[in-house]
Amino acid sequence: MEKINLSEVTSEHLYVSRRKLLVGLGALAASTVILSACRRGGITPPPPPGTDFCDSAYASKDTDELGAKLTSCQDVTHYNNYYEFSTEKEDVATLAQNFKTSPWEVKVGGLVNKPLTFSLDDLLRKFPPEERIYRLRCVEAWSMVIPWLGFPLAALLKEVEPTSKAKYVRFETIYDPNQMPGQKRGILDWPYVEGLRLDEAMHNLTILATGLFGKPLPPQDGAPIRLVVPWKYDFKSIKSIVKIDLVEEMPVSAWMAASPNEYGFYSNVNPDVPHPRWSQSSERRIGQFERIKTLLFNGYADEVAYLYAGMDLKKFF
C-alpha cells in the first residue's frame, strides 16, 4: 500500500504551539498503576478504592493560557455528558462507578500500512502523557476548563503509517449495554461513532486523554481513553475508545445520523452559526453565574483557523 509522507499532513503546529502549556512527562509506576503523572511533589497515583477522585490535593496552574479559572474537580467529575450511561448529567458518575476499564485494547487500522492493537499499558508506555489545560465547550452553551493528561493523537497515527488514500479518522466507543445502561435505549445508533478530517487529527492540539487533574480518567469522564479536540463542541470528544480507523470517506458520526440538520461533521465552536434551537453567541462556565462571549473556535482560532481557510463555515458547520 502507498505510504503517505506525514510532513504532507502535519503542520508546524504539531511540533510548536504558542500556548506553552504545562508539559510534564507522565511516568509509569508499578504495573498495577494504570497511569501516574509527574506532579509537583512527586507521583500522584490513582486514589485508593473508596476514596473520592477529588479528595487528594491537585498542584497545578489555577487558570488556562487565556486566564480562565479551572473548573472545580467536583463539577468536572459529577456533571457529565455521557449518554451511554444516562441523559441526566448528574446521574452519570453514580451509574458509571463500576465500569470496567481494565484490560482495555484500542485497535487502529483501516487505510494504514501497519495496523496495530494497543493495550492501555502499551499506549501509556509508548506515549507518556503530558498536561494540557483545555477549554471544553458544550453545544447547550455551558463550558468547562479542564487540566487533561494525554498525548497527541498524531503520535499514534504515525505509528500505523496512514496511506495516501486516508483522508479521515473514524473513532468508535465500546458497545457494552450490560455496563452502559444508556445503550439499552434508542437515543442514538450505538456504538457511538465520531470522525475528524486527517489534518484535524494530526494537529498538535488534538489529544487522546488518559487522565485529568493529575490522575487516571474516572469512568464518567470517558475512561480509560478519550478524544479531546478543544476547538470543537464536546460531543466530538468521543469517550471510551476501542477502535480507530483511517478511512477515505467522511464518517457519519452518531449525532450527524441522529439529527443532521442540527449537528454537522465539523462541529467547530462558531458563535456566528446558531444551533437551530438556541444561540451559541454566549456561554456560561460551570460553577460561575455570569455569561461570557463565545470565542470563535473556542478561543483557539490562532492555532486552527488556517485548517478551514476558504470554507463556508455556515455550510460546513
Q: What is the mean pLDDT of residues 182-205?
A: 97
> pLDDT tens across 44-67, in order?
455 555 567 887 666 667 888 778
- HSE-CB of 295 using CA atoms within 13 angstroms: 16
> pLDDT tens across 255-283, in order?
999 999 999 999 999 999 999 999 999 99
DSSP the chain: -PBPPGGGT--GGGT--TT------EE--STT-S-EEEETTEEEPPPPTTS-TTSS---S-SB-TT-PBPPPHHHHHHS--BTTTBS-GGGHHHHHTT---SS-EEEEEESBSS-EEEEHHHHHHHS--EEEEEEEE-TTSEEEEEEEEEEEHHHHHHHH-BBTT--EEEEEE---TTT-GGGGSTTS-SSPEEEEEHHHHTSTT-EEEEEETTEEPPGGGTTT-EEE-TTBBGGGS--SEEEEEEESSPP--HHHHH-TTT--SS-B--TTS-BTTB--SEEEETT--SEEEPPGGGGTHHHHGGGGTT--TTT--
66: domain CATH number? 3.90.420.10
Question: How confident is the model at residue 52, as a pLDDT?
Answer: 74
Cα distances (angstroms) measured from residue 198 to each of 151, 171, 240: 17, 12, 20
Q: 244 pairs with which residues across the strands?
A: 108, 171
Question: How confident is the model at residue 63, as a pLDDT?
Answer: 86
> pLDDT tens across 98-124, in order?
999 999 999 999 999 999 999 999 999
Q: Does residue 17 surpass a pLDDT of 70?
A: no
Within-domain flag for 108: yes
Q: Does residue 142 surpass a pLDDT of 60?
A: yes
Cell of 164: 495516501
Within-domain flag for 317: no
- Most confidently modeled range among 13-22, 67-76, 172-181: 172-181
Among 219, 240, 184, 225, smallest CA distance to 97 is for: 219
CA–CA separation, 300 and 125 (whole Å) = 29
Q: What is the mean pLDDT of residues 137-148?
A: 94
To the nearest 10°, the Cα dihedral for 111, 112, 115, 116? Answer: -120
Rounded to two decimals, the pTM is 0.84
Question: How confident is the model at residue 11, as a pLDDT?
Answer: 34
Give yes or no for a cis peptide into 103 (omega within 30° of 0): yes
Q: Does residue 162 surpass a pLDDT of 60?
A: yes
| Structural domain total, the chain | 1
What's the whole-number average pLDDT of the chain? Answer: 86
Within-domain flag for 314: no
CA–CA separation, 299 and 276 (whole Å) = 22
Question: How confident is the model at residue 9, as a pLDDT?
Answer: 36
Q: What is the mean pLDDT of residues 2-14?
A: 35
User: Domain residues for 179?
Assistant: 6-308
Q: What is the mean pLDDT of residues 9-21?
A: 33
Within-domain flag for 315: no
Residue pair 253/265 in contact (Cβ under 8 Å)? The answer is yes
Within-domain flag for 316: no
Please give the share of the chain, as a percent, with pLDDT higher than 90: 77
Confidence of residue 240 (pLDDT cuts 50, 70, 90): very high
Within-domain flag for 16: yes
Question: How confident is the model at residue 13, as a pLDDT?
Answer: 33
Q: Does residue 16 surpass a pLDDT of 50?
A: no
Q: Does residue 27 surpass a pLDDT of 70?
A: no
Within-domain flag for 290: yes
Within-domain flag for 313: no
Q: What is the mean pLDDT of residues 118-132?
A: 96
